[in-house]
Amino acid sequence: MISFDPKELSTGRLHGYLLSAVAPRPIAFASTMDANGNPNLSPFSFFNVFSANPPIMIFSPARRVRDNTIKHTLENVEAVKEVVINVVNYDIVHQMSLSSTEYPEDVNEFEKTGLTMLPSDMVKPFRVAESPVQFECKVNDIIHLGTEGGAGNLVICEVVKLHIADEVMNADNTINQEALDLVARAGGSYYSRAKKGFFEIPKPLRTLGIGVDSLPEHVRNSMILTGNNLGMLANVEALPSEEEVNQFIKDISKRYPEIETASHREKHKIARNYLSYGDVESAWKLLLS
């Protein structure tokens, strides 16, 4: 067994060990609002429920390891002491991942991810309509654990209202865990689907993904592509060139002789298949043809 003194490890290395060993972790998909009323949406896996009476949840937007800056979520809950914690199921995991891209503070992550803003009843921040369980919370306290990169900030939240989708409820008004289909965070690019085990999602770009709001209309409004599909497509910095698209179509026409005259619907079905294997580049070339 290898042993370490935390003080002798770089923060980045220690951070990696902690995230890989303490896993899988539930995800707080936190919706906040700044003092000017601008919405923000970001995921945090330093999160759990800590009390039922009163109902208390705690999540921690840590200071960034690489440059010791703080996240918009922390700034927002310090200015407007309210938050909605939305749970993450498999159906929205790629859109959730895209929201962790570090967009400027004036960018609405709901629009970038293609998720729907649903007004809350008791707090100002919006709920994520696609999330199967949403907790409206008041922020009771914020405890700063340090001033250096990697330091956590415990946001202690009291649940003032919760919303549970009908489709995840049993007849006796308990939650059906299999229907809920929650996703948790692990180390590196790993996630865990509660009923199926580990899978990977490439980390969002350090540069900015184009976002769902920048997708061509026929893609954004597709009846074939799922929210996860859109999240994958939106996490690219730039689209393939016309030359790349033409060459791709030429290459695959041997397998799909009718591809050049295929409808959007038919192309979307094939693109969805490419995405199921994580081949975003081929999916984009097909969708742009």
What mean pLDDT comes out for the span 164-191? 96
Amino acid at site 162: L
- Neighbour order of strands in the sheet with 82-86: 39-44, 28-33, 82-86, 133-144, 153-164, 55-59, 47-52
pTM over 0.75: yes
What mean pLDDT comes out for the span 7-22? 91
What mean pLDDT comes out for the span 116-139? 98
Phi, psi of 80 (to 5 degrees): -125, 105
pLDDT value of position 205: 64
pLDDT value of position 66: 82
What mean pLDDT comes out for the span 69-75? 90
Task: Write down the H helix ranges in the chain.
Answer: 11-21, 72-79, 93-99, 109-113, 177-180, 217-220, 227-234, 242-252, 264-276, 280-287
pLDDT value of position 65: 81
Looking at the predicted structure, is the pLDDT value of residue 212 above 80?
yes
Q: Are strands 28-33 and 39-44 parallel, antiparallel or unpaired?
A: antiparallel
Looking at the predicted structure, is the pLDDT value of residue 195 above 90?
no
Residue with tokens 């919006």: 126
Confidence of residue 120 (pLDDT cuts 50, 70, 90): very high
d(CA 266, CA 264): 6
pLDDT in tens, 146-167: 998 888 999 999 999 999 999 9
Least confident piece of the model among 95-99, 104-108, 140-144: 104-108
pLDDT value of position 98: 95
Confidence of residue 133 (pLDDT cuts 50, 70, 90): very high
pLDDT value of position 161: 98
**Domains along the sequence of the chain with CATH:** 6-200 (2.30.110.10), 212-287 (no CATH)
Looking at the predicted structure, is the pLDDT value of residue 207 above 80?
no
- Output the six-digit token pair for 84: 């909605």
What mean pLDDT comes out for the span 264-273? 93
What mean pLDDT comes out for the span 224-232? 96
d(CA 250, CA 252): 6
